[in-house]
Structure 1
Amino acid sequence: MSAERPSLPPVRLNSEAELARDALAAPLFVRAVRLARWAGPDTRVGAGGELVDAQLPAAAEHLGLPADEDGAAYASEAWRLAVDTGLLDVTDPEEEDAEGTVSAGENLGLLTAGSPQDVLSIWLDGLDAVHADATAPVLDDFTDLVGEDGSIDFDALDWDPEAEAEFLDGVLGNLYLLTLADNGAGEGPVPLPALAASMIVPDDMGEPTDDILEQVSEAMMRLDDQFRLLEPIGIVEYRPVDEALMVEEGEASVDAVGGDEDDVTRYGMVKLTPLGLYGVRARMLEAGVDAPAVGDLAGKGADALLDGIVHYPESAARAEVKLWLAGYADGAVS
């Protein structure tokens, strides 16, 4: 009996060695590694593992960042990633108001002494951390959420973390599908309005209503912020929305979309990188999505190969068979 049709077409991934090199070259990851190697016995952190404000200027200077608020923010972001990915180990203070210390984490050594799989595993932890940051609520004034007794009113945030994560994962999933469309012909950048519309506009809707267009505009601006955060971890190449298109409410109107190509690019363009394909697929697999990759069937029996490629596009099927035959010649297939 033939295998069921996979829910997604097979993806051709770069080798793990190539992907690991891409991960190590991602700008945010580079900064995190540099700060992890910069940290020493005199480095002090707060209760949550964050670098204390007094040391942010030195961290920014080490990274070659400007000595201003932006430089401090980028340094803080890189520091958090170093902690989240185990490049640094934080020792909490023994006393309540004291400061903690840090030391090199085990994962820092794996970046040079470990395998490509080790590097990619650490990078995936970083992707999860950045994804969580991208779906976190934007707080205009945190003091409005603090009650008289000092407690935080989380209900006032009007924020559903699961829904936010599901929305971003849905967008990344659509971008993944568009990248694989037409046997790879869809590898060019995707206009942000089209990506936002893919999550908002019903499939059976003809002309979008004003309400739908407003929702697409809001989703565009939400995605603009999120892709700005995701780009430095190496998952996407992103051209942000032209700030000149912003209206007073902080949204970009989509009414003009549909003009020539130059106009469309001003509304944001996004493309998954080869590392991004790997990262999105890894998140899909973790969520239980059937996301095959060319090479998955190498080393399996002939029956599994024939059942597996029956729904593959011709080019992917040829590549899969080629890899299977190579494994057969090497004795990997019994």
Structure 2
Amino acid sequence: MADNWVETTAGDLRRWADERGEKIDGQGARLLLDLAAREMGLEGPDALTPAALRALLLEVFPDTVVAGADEVPSVLDTLRAIAAFLGDTGAVTAERAAELAAEIDRLGPEFTEVVAATDDAERQVAAEVVAGLMEADGVPLDDQDAVEEWMRGFEALPDEERYARAEEYLRRTEDLVVPPVRLAPAADLAEAARRCGLTAEVRALAEWTGERALTELDELTAADAEAAVAALGLATPRRLPDVEVGDQTDLPELDRLWWAATEAEVIRAEGGKAAPGPALPDLGSGDDERVLRAWLRLLDSVAVPDHDPSDGLDAIELVQNELTGVLIHLYEQEEPATPAELADALLGHVAEAYEISDERSLAEAVRDALDLELADLARWGVVEPAGDGGRALTPLGVWGVRELLLADGFTAPVVGELAGASAAELVAGLAWHRPETADEEIDGWLASHDVKDAAADLLDVMRGGGPGARNLAAAVLHRVGPEAAPVVRAAREHPLVSPYAALWLNAAGDPAGRELSRAEYLWVFVDTVAGMLETAEPAEAVEAALVDAPPGAEMREMVDELWRTDHPGVAEVLEALGDHHPDKATAKAARTAAYKARSARAAGSGGV
């Protein structure tokens, strides 16, 4: 039905323009009419009212069309032509046509602002994606010729391939995000690096080695390896019992330290000779940056070994290969993890990544091997006891693991770094924070911004962002002081902001505050859950949404009403409620309502 009136109207509009000798963007007109039919549920051109125009321009168009600010005049001119055509042909009264024309003129500045904000955000995201794709392909971003050559090749790809590459990049980028952490002061970290066991053992090995002959593999001879272990007092629990030392690799603990020292250039081993390396003085330097840089290279070597899985790994080598996963697990956890919990997580990954013939025997061996690794990490100053038998990263360990994550392309936020950010950057960054660190970030941001400026910037984010950004910006806005009332009052007319502005004004006791209408309340509920669905699993989003939702029969009644809500995400929200609401009757009602919402949109007859 929607296609019929849209196609008919678009054809009549073209003929009308031709007869008058006027040019019209036929494709643009068809798009606007289609949005009115499919996204807003208008059943014909006569249903186009000033209110519908406002929703079309300020809500539907920015959410569904990728457009630049330079295209706004053309869109407005096309709408003016549609309004004139409808009045000329009697599809609407002359009075309605005049109202439409006047509303288009009134909406022009606000529509321009919304499209510009959306366009800027989209361009920024697109630029970040393109830069990320270049870096992944090894293109130096400061090499203009290389950048231009890559861009020519990328733009020559079929649209489908470019979109697929961008989607894969965004998916991978989202996976490469870890929770924010607090970092100790650099001076404290450097002092910890100077004093830790890893530094002490590597320095002792380098000083003991001095200048001496090595094997053809640039390793210590068997005799020297045994002498080094004795001189350093190095425990060797991984050494095979009753096996004569034939070469350095028969003493795994020493072998690991040796290669860490050589890779970090604390020892120079080449041409069959050993000598102190250029990084040896750095480990005892008074320069904090030099100490940390040298220590990080040691950590990188001992935590990221290069055993080849195709050669067949014993339990010790397997655990060492997966040690970075253990460190990331500790980095991401809010609470300390016990060795048993770490072993279970490691074994779960091993079961997925390797072919295992005897899982029971391997599990026991892996637990023993992990205990050895944890003991080494504790001695090296990376891990420490915490809680009831748990383990946690030391401040130095947190810093080191974060540096390794950054080197691997992870986004690894630090608590406090958003204080000087823009409102858009704050909202984007808060998506990765836990509640307690989010509160800290918000407090820091508000403290460094003028109240009215903060409110204005947050409202801009709410106008141009999606549900998730709108939810977070609204949450921050509620922490802004009452001095922002004039700014919030001025934003009440924007359809995406109006309900949130009313809530803020009401909470602030402002005379302009008011209770939300039932339709607004339902819209805010849908907007809130839709925002949660952007970053959380549906089950988690529903659980969070139900904390403040009405109970029992009242919730079922609300679900029955939700499908009529004029929100593009209502069907997805209802589907999530249908799949995960704990009350069976409410879940069933939500599934039915989701079907109604999708059917109404498909038929072009949905929403109020």
Shorter-chain TM-score range? 0.5 to 0.7
* Matched-pair contact (CA < 8 Å) for 1:20–1:120: yes
1:44-82: CA deviations, max 9, x gaps?
Answer: 22233323333346544653569xx98x94555544432
* Matched-pair contact (CA < 8 Å) for 2:304–2:321: no
The correspondence of residues 1-334 of structure 1 with structure 2, limited to 5 A, is 7-41=177-211, 43-56=212-225, 59-60=228-229, 62-63=231-232, 73=251, 77-93=256-272, 100-102=273-275, 104-113=276-285, 115-133=287-305, 136=307, 157=312, 167-178=322-333, 181=334, 186=335, 188=336, 190-200=337-347, 216-237=363-384, 269-297=390-418, 300-309=421-430, 312-320=433-441
Deviation, 1:295, is: 3.6
Deviation, 1:306, is: 4.5
Equivalents in 2 of 1:8, 1:233: separation in Å?
Answer: 24
1:142-192: CA deviations, max 9, x gaps?
Answer: xxxxxxxxxxxx9562679998677433333222222xx2xxxx1x4x222
What is the one-letter code of the residue matched to 1:176? Answer: Y
Equivalent pairs: percent with the same residue?
Answer: 30
Deviation, 1:86, is: 0.7
Distance 1:110 1:161, change over 3 A: same
Secondary structure of residue in 1 paired with 2:368:
helix
* Matched-pair contact (CA < 8 Å) for 1:10–1:291: yes
Secondary structure of residue in 1 paired with 2:384:
strand
What is the one-letter code of the residue matched to 1:63? Answer: L
Normalization by structure 1: what TM-score? 0.60
* Matched-pair contact (CA < 8 Å) for 2:319–2:370: no
Deviation, 1:30, is: 0.6
Equivalents in 1 of 2:440, 2:376: separation in Å?
Answer: 35
* Matched-pair contact (CA < 8 Å) for 1:193–1:216: no
Equivalents in 1 of 2:340, 2:373: separation in Å?
Answer: 14
Normalization by structure 2: what TM-score? 0.36
Deviation, 1:11, is: 0.6
Distance 1:122 1:48, change over 3 A: farther
Equivalents in 2 of 1:161, 1:58: separation in Å?
Answer: 24
Secondary structure of residue in 2 paired with 1:237:
strand
CA root-mean-square deviation? 4.4
Aligned position for 1:251: none
* Matched-pair contact (CA < 8 Å) for 2:338–2:391: yes
Deviation, 1:310, is: 5.5
Deviation, 1:92, is: 0.8
Equivalents in 2 of 1:162, 1:60: separation in Å?
Answer: 21
Indicate the structure (1 or 2) with the bigger Cα radius of gyration.
Answer: 2
Deviation, 1:290, is: 2.4
- Give the structure, 1 or 2, with the largest relative contact order (CA under 8 Å, sep 6 or more): 1
Higher normalized helix content (fraction of residues): 2
* Matched-pair contact (CA < 8 Å) for 1:131–1:230: no
What is the one-letter code of the residue matched to 1:90? Answer: A
Counting matched residue pairs gives 259
Secondary structure of residue in 1 paired with 2:426:
helix
1:82-103: CA deviations, max 9, x gaps?
Answer: 222111222314xxxxxx232x
Deviation, 1:201, is: 5.6
What is the one-letter code of the residue matched to 2:412? Answer: A
Query: Mind listing any 5+ residue stretches in structure 2 that lack a counterpart?
Result: 1-117, 126-169, 240-247, 350-357, 450-608
What is the one-letter code of the residue matched to 1:115? Answer: D
